[in-house]
Each structure stands twice: as C-alpha cells, then as structure tokens.
Structure 1
Amino acid sequence: MEHEDLKPPAAPARELRRRSALIGIGAVACVGAVDVGAFAYVSGRATPDRLTPGRLADGFETVFGKHPGFRRNHAKGVSVAGEFVASGAGTSVSEATVFEDGRRTPVTGRFSLSGGVPDVADATKTVRGLALRFDLPDGEQWRTAMVNLPVFQDRTPQGFYDRMLAFKALPDTGQPDPEKKAAFLAEHPETVRAMELAKKHPPTSGFADSTFNGLNAFHFTNGSGGSVPVRWSMVPLQPVRAAAKGPIGRNELFETLIDAFDGGPLRWRLVLTIGGPEDPLDDATLPWPDSRRTLDAGVLTLSSVHTEASGNARDINFDPTVLPRGIAVSDDPLLSARSSVYARSFARRTGEPDTKGTVKVTGKHDD
C-alpha cells in the first residue's frame, strides 16, 4: 500500500484519508539494507542468566506476543515528515550543524504508543512516543526516540527487563500479578519514585499537545571545545488540554492527530536543558532541577502524516546513539542497551514475512 500525504482534503475525502492512514499501522516489509546499529551493550562471555539484546527482545515477545513485521515495542504508530529550523542558540553548546542559525533540516519521524501490540486500543495513560531522524549535511544524522514521561522508570536495562515481566498482564484479569508487581517495586525504590513523579505530570489530550522528553543525558561540545551535559525536550506550540477522563475510542489518539494535520502543520519547540556538575548523567530516573539553564534551539514543524510504508519512518531504526559531531553519548547504561535492542528488533522484523501492511484499524465510529 502506498503512503498518503494527509493535507487538508475536501470533506467527504477527509474521513477516507483518516482511515487510510490507520490501515497497516506499524508493519514493515522486507528492507534491503538492515540498519543494525551498535551492539556495545553485550560484551564478555555469555551465560544463561545474562541479559542480552536477544533476551530483551524475547521479553517483549513474551509479554506482548509475536507480531511478525512489527516493532517489538511502540508497535502502533504512524509516520510523519517535516523540518527543523534552528534559532542559532544551540551553537553555544554544540558544533552540530543542525543548530546553525536559520538552518532548515529535513526530519522524518514517527508517533507511537508503547507496547508490542500493533492494533492495541488507544488509552490516554499509555506512554506516547515521538521518534525523529534529522538528516544533516554530509550524510550525518541525529536520531532520537522520546516519550511523554518526565523521567524513565528504570535505572538499568536489567530493571527494565524485570519490570516488563513483573507487570505482564494476566489473561484472566488483564492486570499484573499483584505479588510479582509488589515484589519488584519493593526491590526498586527508584522505579517507585519515577512513577510518583509521572503522576504529577498527567498526560495531555493527545499527541499534538504532548511534551516529549529525551530522558537520557548526552555530552554536547561546541566549536571551542567546551563540553556540557544536556537533556532535551520537544515542547508543543499547540494549546495544551487535559486528557479525557475514562475510556476513549479504539484509535482516538491517532484519529485526533490526523485530524489536527487537516488544520495545518504541528509545531514543537526544541528545548535544551544544561546540566550542572551535581546532576546525574547515568540515572534517567532522576530529574534535573527546574532551575537549570535552558536554550530555545529552534522549532520542529511536522507538516504531513503518512501510513507507514516503504521509504518513510517505518524503515528507520531510531537508535538514540546515532549522533552528529557535537553530540556524544553519556555513561547512562540505558543508551547502549537501547541501541543494541533496537538493532535486534530491527533485524528481526526486517527478516520476517512481508505482512504488506494489512492490519486494519477501524474508524472512530466503528468501536
């Protein structure tokens, strides 16, 4: 199925286009070049209980089932495209060309919901994702995968894996085993703190008015060689509204997003937060103080939304360690783990049978 550019259509085509964008959400056909990313997370001799990228990918399949051709996490999503226009402020901390004043950088991205079920029902409390690839001059890229949480819920890859299994929904109740959940939380006070912080930042009404955070720390180096730790966020320029109370339509978050594009482009401000000497660089469960210096680095404008098809975000591995000059990884253990697991997931889905994007998601009036 070819992708469709959803520009403001005439009514009755609007409903047809909305439905077209929600057919085949997230599926990937066979891709010629496999972008395998880095496997820095795995080193040393393998043991039966060692947490490898393969075991982590298997964990997603244990929790969410196997869905050939789809991402192991954030399986439900749509592709978007646009550009980033830099304000020039970012050059004070990074030599990356993306921050040069007035630079217009093409962007390919993807909105998604967490979890490995490609046709899962939308829910306001489900974690939302925004992944982006900035295509810079000379073949450089900047890839980032952000979520609408203020902090990550796990400090280490092992913690993430253990929580995923402990919180697996039971078939008969649809809820986690209360004993396993309680045991995990008793052993991980950092996760309890992170969850409490998330409660203080309730979700907004949808994708368009969500703030998306990078969560991990990175090292930025400017043209003079000065280096500072940075975390970044995409802050919406659309009006922010509270999320609906109670259940919503099966695809309501995505349908509302597509409808929003009917009214024109959507915009976010890229905010860089500069860390202080005492701020943690290796623990994404801990927030940095609100008093930290910030820079308005420019505006992301997303102008179109597409069915996931060959050539758009469907085929991208949003490895957060793919970085341009002027941005480097920190010692956060989650970064190398994300890189290697994303690569394993990408290799699996591109080697699986071609689903041809045939998973159907019904419209809002067919719930």
Structure 2
Amino acid sequence: MLRASAIALSIALMPVTAFAEDAFDKAERTMKAFEDVFGVTKGKRRNHTKGFCIIGSFEPQDAAILKYTNSPIFTQTSSVNGRVSHKGGNNKAADNKFADYGLAFEITTPDDDTHIIGMNTEHFFPVSTPEAFSKLMQAKAIGKEAVKAFAANSPELKAHKAYHSARDKTLRPYEGATYNSINTFYLVDDAGKRTAIRWSFVPSNDQKVVLDPSENFFFENMQANLDAGEVAWDMIITIANPDDEILNPAILWTGEHTQIKAAKLIVNSISTEAEGECDPLNYDPLILTDGFEPSEDPMLEARSAIYAIGVSKRLGEKE
C-alpha cells in the first residue's frame, strides 16, 4: 500500500472525476468558506491550522477486538506519524483559552500497510450532511446574523451548541484531551461480517497543564510531560447498539454499549511542523487497512474531498 505522503501527492493531482462531481463542488465551496472565515496562512492547512507533529507507536491491547476485525493494526505494534492541533483556521490560536482540538495520525504496520485516523474533541458534528455543513460555513463567512438565521432552521446545530457549551471549560493541553471519531466505521472480520463502531482516544494518564499558561505553550507543555513520563491515549472502541443512528454524525450514541480498549497510542517525540514529518501528510479518513470499511455516512466522502482540495492548495503554495 502507498505511504500516506505519496497518497497525498497523488490525491492532489486527481481529476474532479475521482470524486462524485457534486461532492467535489460542495467541498470547493466549503473550502472557500473556510478561507473567508479565517483567512489564508499560505502553505498551511485551512482547518486545524495551528499544530505540531508527534512520532510514536500504536500498540494492540485487548485481543477481544479480533472477534470483529482482521485489521493488522490490532495484531502487531506499528509506527505513528501524527499531528495535534487547534480546531479552526487561526494559525495564532491561543493555547491559554479553552478550545476544541484535533488529533490525526498515520499508522504504518511492519508490513507497510497504512491506516489513517483523524478525530476531534467535539462529541458529535454540528450538522449531518455535506450540504448543511457547506451552508453553515458560508453563513459563518457572512457573519453572526447569517449564522443565527441558519441556526433558526437547524435543530442539529442548536443541539450541538447546547451540548458543547455545557462542557467543563477547564483548560487542558492536547495530551490531556479526549478525541472522538464522530463518524461511524465498520470493523470487518474474516467472514466479511461488518460491525458498526465509533471510538475515542482517552488519555492513558492524567496529563495536565504543567507550565504557566501562555498564548503559545502547548508544545513545551507536552515536552515537559514527555520528560516526566508517558504521554499516551487508549483507543476505546464502542460497538453500535441496534437502535443507534450509525450514519448521522450529528447524533451522539447514549446509554450502555460494549466497549473494548483495543490499542494504545504512545508518543515518543514531538517536533514543529518545520522540523517534523507530519506537514505534507493528508490525513484522509478513507485510507484504511483491511478489516475496516467506511460507513455510508456522506460526511466521510465530504471530508475526504475537502482534504484533497486542501492538500493540493497548501503543497502548491510551498513550491
């Protein structure tokens, strides 16, 4: 399988017909709206613009996960090339204020299979369709009144705002945050049986702010936590119940579920984007190993198309 860095370059050169044309058009409009909202930092990602690189390992944990999937990421320790970031397109986002973050990484198995995982600290998405997301971003580009008008006709956005505004706003560093898949994927076993899942990456230890908070201290804070001990997350996979809405990322799964601590992501070192290896990577959620399949959630294709446009733009700006 191609390494994700090579995949990023090939995606950047794909013709429009590589995606459904309608999905590509929506992705173009959404990308333009991101640029209108946040401006453009040339050579940088349009969303999750501020961040830095992590290098580490992905280690299988509970073998119970092998009942549902034959993916090689759960059978052997693999290497990780990843990135932590602030949500949004502000390259100067303040570290000393509560915010939502992102965690994305490329897993490379000993056999050179590649698997991409990308997550956010939000618990669910503000809208359920690419059309609604594009319109939401366009409303944000216009201004607050346009967003209010959009929200007036969007129960999903209202529910998202109500839930997430009620969260604990205690400042947490990247390494102290929990990240969620939001979209649904399928695990696939040897017989081809599919099991719908979501997952969260939960800090393995109590990772705190250990330095005096400033507008740009997260890099040094993670390094201090690395120097003091382990920085890691447990991958908690949640198996869907029969009544769960598996194709709507704007709905949170609630109640009791079967959960498996399937793996552990361990950070070995960090680096700036200028010095590290994460900057050219395209963290496309549709790059999966055998034993996984994307669900039919239309937001997955939309994310993939937006990322393809984004990597083409920023790599072109670096030439």
TM-score interval for Structure 1 and Structure 2 normalised by the shorter chain: 0.7 to 0.9
The structure-2 alpha-carbon separation of the partners of 1:260 and 1:165, relative to structure 1 and needing over 3 Å to count, comes to farther
> Distance between the aligned counterparts of 1:196 and 1:304, measured in 2?
37
Partner of 1:9: none
Q: Which has the higher helix share?
A: 2
Matched, 1:164 2:131: no
Pick from 267, 270, 274 the counterpart of residue 235 of structure 2.
Answer: 270
**Aligned partner of residue 9 in structure 2, secondary structure:** coil
Describe the shift of the 1:239–1:263 C-alpha distance in structure 2 as closer, same or farther (beyond 3 A): same
2:92 corresponds to: 119
The number of residues matched between the two structures is 310
SS at match of 2:107: strand
The 4+ residue runs of structure 1 with deviation greater than 6 A are 37-41
CA separation of 1:64 and 1:70: change in aligned 2, threshold 3 A: same
Q: Name the structure 1 match of 2:147.
A: 181
Contact 1:154 1:285 survives alignment (8 Å)? yes
Instruction: Please tell me whether residue 207 in structure 1 is matched to residue 207 in structure 2.
Output: no
Shift in Å, 1:264: 3.2
Let me know the Cα RMSD of the aligned residues.
2.8
Q: What is the aligned counterpart of 2:281 among 295, 298, 316?
A: 316
The match for 1:227 among 177, 180, 194 is 194
CA distance in 2, matches of 1:99, 1:203: 34
* Deviation at residue 155 of structure 1 after TM alignment: 0.9
2:106 matches 1:129: no
Q: Does residue 293 of the first structure (1) align with residue 270 of the second (2)?
A: no
CA contact (8 A) 2:207 2:225 kept: no
Unpaired runs of at least 5, structure 2? 1-5
Kept in 2, the 8 Å contact 1:212–1:235? The answer is yes
Q: 1:280 offset after TM fit, Å? A: 1.2
Q: 1:186-215: CA deviations, max 9, x gaps?
A: 111111112222234335521111111011
Amino acid at match of 1:219: Y
Is the partner of 2:174 in helix, strand or coil? coil
| Letter paired with 2:297 | D
Q: Please state if 1:140 is matched with 2:113.
A: yes
Provide TM-score, normalisation by structure 1: 0.77
Alignment-mate amino acid for residue 154 of structure 1:
V
Structure 1 counterpart SS, 2:103:
strand
CA–CA separation in structure 2 for the residues paired with 1:281 and 1:40: 28
Q: CA deviation at 1:348?
A: 0.9
- Residues 8, 280 of structure 2: 8 Å contact kept: no
- Secondary structure of 1:106's match? strand
What is the one-letter code of the residue matched to 2:20? S
In 1, are the aligned partners of 2:156 and 2:250 still within 8 Å (CA)?
A: yes
Pick from 299, 310, 313 the counterpart of residue 345 of structure 1. 310
| Structure 1: segments with no counterpart, 5+ residues | 1-30, 171-175, 243-247, 355-367
Q: TM-score, normalised by structure 2?
A: 0.88
Partners of 1:226 and 1:33 lie apart in 2 by 30
Alpha-carbon distance in 1 for matches of 2:184, 2:104: 16
Q: Does the alignment pair 1:68 with 2:42? A: yes
More divergent stretch after superposition (122-131 vs 317-326): 122-131
Distance in 2 (CA, whole Å) between partners of 1:271 and 1:137 is: 23
Query: 1:33 and 1:63, CA in 2 relative to 1: closer, same or farther beyond 3 A?
Result: closer
Q: Secondary structure at the match of 1:167?
A: helix
Structure 2 residue aligned with 1:305, among 249, 270, 279? 270
Cα pair 2:185 2:292 within 8 Å, conserved = yes
| Aligned-partner Cα distance in 1 for 2:137–2:155 | 16
